[in-house]
Chain A
Amino acid sequence: AQSVAQPEDQVNVAEGNPLTVKCTYSVSGNPYLFWYVQYPNRGLQFLLKYITGDNLVKGSYGFEAEFNKSQTSFHLKKPSALVSDSALYFCAVRVHDVLSMDFGNEKLTFGTGTRLTIIP
């Protein structure tokens, strides 16, 4: 089984300050981890993903995320927040198992989402 937790429903950050949106995961194998952003009345947009290798992943719009295997975390970060970053953010996980024929690997498990508000 795989699961994702986003412990904060709401994060407020002043414009220009660094932001962090937290994500922890639980999987039985090696994880592929993703961050998506959703603006009001829109679909989800892919921001970045961790596959393997360098623990610091850089993505769209200046976002980055740090994979921490020991803490099973994949927090989303940005050095300087913009008002336009205000949106709903979802962390997601898929288990990596090249030997498995379990179609469950096709499933992307989402966290509950964190609403990020950047205050001007």
Chain B
Amino acid sequence: DTEVTQTPKHLVMGMTNKKSLKCEQHMGHRAMYWYKQKAKKPPELMFVYSYEKLSINESVPSRFSPECPNSSLLNLHLHALQPEDSALYLCASSQDPQGSYEQYFGPGTRLTVT
């Protein structure tokens, strides 16, 4: 099983709402990632969790808050977002954070901030 699942598929939220994106993998991978992708652009790295610890935060605004409850789950908590935060949010995982391991991506959550 090489699947990364993400829920929800679509999310519309107002600027005062609080919502969460969820990501799950059962491949035993020890690295998990959040990316933001705008239309026709490459994914932009937001956060990296290595062995359930946050190892990289790419200067992401505090209105995005990641959480890794266990080795299979990754959440992204959203609060007071701006319209420019509307994008496709991709979760990925890899066997190890370093080395030659490829990342496996989920289908993404399409987020619209109104």
Binding site for B on A (CB under 8 A): 32, 34, 36, 41-46, 49, 51, 88, 90, 94, 96, 103, 105-108, 110-113, 115
The residue that A106 contacts in the complex, of B31, B88, B100, with Cβ under 8 A, is: B31
Question: A108–B100 contact, CB under 8 A?
Answer: no
Question: B103–A46 contact, CB under 8 A?
Answer: yes
Question: B90–A44 contact, CB under 8 A?
Answer: yes
Given A43-B92, A106-B55, A106-B56: 11 more A-B contacts, CB < 8 Å: A36-B105, A43-B105, A44-B43, A103-B55, A103-B56, A103-B97, A105-B98, A106-B31, A106-B97, A111-B42, A115-B40
Question: B42–A90 contact, CB under 8 A?
Answer: yes
Whether A108 contacts B40 in the complex (CB less than 8 A), given A44-B90, A103-B56, comes out as no
CB-based closest 9 A-B pairs: A43-B105, A110-B42, A106-B97, A44-B105, A51-B100, A46-B102, A43-B107, A32-B100, A43-B108
A43: B residues at CB distance < 8 A: 4, 6, 90, 92, 105-108
Does B64 reach chain A (CB closer than 8 Å)? no
- For B42, give the chain A residue with the smallest CB separation: A110
Report the separation of the CA atoms of residues A113 and B102 in the bound assembly, to the nearest whole angstrom. Answer: 18
**Total cross-chain contacts (CB, 8 A):** 63
Binding site for A on B (CB under 8 A): 4, 6, 31, 40-43, 45, 48, 50, 55-56, 88, 90, 92, 97-100, 102-108, 110
A103: B residues at CB distance < 8 A: 48, 50, 55-56, 97
Whether A49 contacts B105 in the complex (CB less than 8 A), given A107-B56, A113-B41, A113-B42, comes out as no
- For A111, give the chain B residue with the smallest CB separation: B42
A34: B residues at CB distance < 8 A: 102
Report the separation of the CA atoms of residues A108 and B31 in the bound assembly, to the nearest whole angstrom. Answer: 12
Question: B42–A112 contact, CB under 8 A?
Answer: yes
B48: A residues at CB distance < 8 A: 103, 106-107
Report the separation of the CA atoms of residues A41 and B104 in the bound assembly, to the nearest whole angstrom. Answer: 16
A44: B residues at CB distance < 8 A: 43, 90, 92, 103, 105
- For A34, give the chain B residue with the smallest CB separation: B102
For the complex formed, measure the closest distance between the CB of B110 and the CB atoms of chain A, giving whole angstroms. Answer: 7
